[in-house]
């Protein structure tokens, strides 16, 4: 303890005060001198014992902090006693909990990033391998013109697939990172539906699928038109893809005091019951998924809708079709 400057200062001051008191007492009587000496020794002794205990407690806290710095967040230094040291212990415990949570979040983000990179690598590997093989075939000078045209078309298709995949993953990363800017404005559902249908009208026409829309013009919700359009497009693409030639896709919507609901249904082949719990999971491909499917469209739709405090559910029956139920709530509890 003597290495501590403040401790030496306290001892020096108390000793000086005691000596002055003894000197004054000497002018009074011998008994007074003895009383002053005994009182001074007891006071200095108590001060030494108390200071020593306090420094031990501080030393323990220093040890705790060293363990926390070393990454050990399992310490529990909570103290229900009164006093500054107890307050300090409780504050250290709070900081330990906060650091532990931050460490868990960092580890979670690290695992998420690793998985995302792994998924992206896996998804890009197939089209890149395909394009490499096609490029090798195109380098053959004796390749017929028809085959050259076919291979070039296939390369273009793979490039479009990579472009779509990268674009979708960028949107995912924005949503995951919380940097996606979702507007909170009035969205008219009829406008949303009409805008979402544009990219799927040609595929529907090719498959001769019919479309029915049912809903009142004044139905709306608070959200972001562009992002929600992206979500609806992905759901419609899924419906078109899994509905056969001549099939039917229906869209209905309504609004009540609690939420605005949009239902998109098809009469396609349906989703197996075992796939339903995972249908919105990123890169999940169900049993009825096509070879071209990446398993990202419905996951992106789910992320967009839930990021706007909405909810999406799916009901499906093999051979009868699938129904996506989307709700945008008026208030978030």
What is the DSSP pairing of strand 185-188 with strand 220-223? antiparallel
Does the pLDDT at position 1 exceed 70? no
Contact 51, 65 (CB under 8 A): no
pLDDT of residue 332: 63
Measured over the CA atoms of residue 250, residue 164, residue 294 and residue 308, the dihedral's sign is: negative
Look at residue 314 in the predicted model and tell me its pLDDT. Answer: 92
**pTM for this entry:** 0.62
Q: Has residue 333 got a pLDDT over 60?
A: no
Helix %, strand %, coil % of the chain (to 5): 60, 15, 25
Banded model confidence at residue 190, pLDDT cuts 50, 70, 90: very high
1-10, 141-150, 186-195: range with highest mean pLDDT: 186-195
Q: Is residue 324 predicted with pLDDT exceeding 60? A: yes
Inform me whether the pLDDT recorded for 253 exceeds 90.
yes
3-state SS assignment for residue 319:
coil
DSSP 8-state code for residue 182: -
| Averaged pLDDT for residues 152-177 | 81
Per residue in 286-317, pLDDT (tens digit) is 776 666 666 788 888 999 999 888 999 999 98
pLDDT at position 222, please? 93
Write down the mean pLDDT value for the chain. Answer: 85
How confident is the model over 116-151, as pLDDT tens digits? 677 777 777 777 888 888 888 888 888 888 888 888
What per-residue confidence (pLDDT) applies to 288? 67
Would you state the pLDDT for residue 229?
A: 93
Per-residue pLDDT at 52 exceeds 90:
no
Between strands 248-255 and 210-214, the pairing is parallel
Task: Give the per-residue pLDDT at 2.
Answer: 67
- pLDDT value at residue 292: 65
Asked which of 117-121, 136-140, 208-212, 256-260 is least confident by mean pLDDT, the reply is 117-121
Tell me what percent of the residues of the chain surpass a pLDDT of 70. 95
How far is the CA of 62 from the CAs of 9, 55, 255, in angstroms? 23, 10, 61
Most confident segment among 80-84, 137-141, 218-222: 218-222
């Amino acid at each position: 303890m003597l290495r501590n400057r403040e401790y030496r200062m306290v001892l020096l001051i108390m000793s000086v005060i005691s000596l002055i008191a003894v000197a004054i007492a000497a002018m009074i009587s011998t008994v007074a001198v003895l009383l002053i000496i005994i009182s001074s020794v007891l006071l200095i002794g108590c001060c030494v014992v108390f200071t020593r205990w306090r420094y031990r407690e501080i030393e323990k806290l220093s040890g705790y902090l060293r363990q926390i710095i070393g990454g050990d967040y399992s310490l529990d230094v909570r103290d229900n006693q009164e006093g500054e040291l107890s307050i300090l212990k409780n504050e250290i415990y709070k900081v330990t909990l906060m650091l532990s949570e931050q460490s868990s979040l960092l580890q979670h983000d690290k695992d998420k990033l690793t998985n995302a990179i792994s998924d992206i690598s896996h998804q890009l590997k197939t089209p890149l391998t395909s394009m490499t093989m096609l490029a090798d075939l195109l380098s053959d000078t004796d390749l017929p013109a028809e085959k050259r045209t076919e291979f070039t078309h296939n390369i273009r298709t793979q490039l479009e697939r990579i472009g779509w995949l990268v674009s979708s993953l960028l949107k995912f990363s924005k949503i995951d990172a919380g940097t996606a800017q979702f507007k909170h404005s009035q969205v008219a559902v009829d406008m949303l539906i009409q805008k979402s249908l544009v990219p799927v009208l040609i595929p529907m026409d090719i498959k001769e699928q019919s479309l029915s829309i049912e809903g009142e013009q004044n139905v709306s919700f608070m959200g972001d038109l562009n992002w929600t359009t992206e979500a609806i497009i992905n759901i419609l693409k899924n419906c078109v893809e899994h509905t056969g030639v001549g099939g039917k896709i229906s869209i209905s919507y309504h609004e009540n005091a609690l939420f605005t609901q949009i239902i998109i249904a098809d009469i396609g082949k349906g989703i197996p019951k075992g796939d339903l719990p995972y249908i919105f999971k990123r890169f999940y491909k169900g049993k009825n998924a096509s070879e071209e499917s990446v398993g990202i469209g419905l996951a992106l739709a789910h992320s967009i809708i839930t990021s706007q405090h909405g909810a999406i559910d799916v009901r499906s029956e093999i051979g009868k079709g699938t129904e996506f139920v989307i709700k945008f709530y008026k208030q978030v509890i």
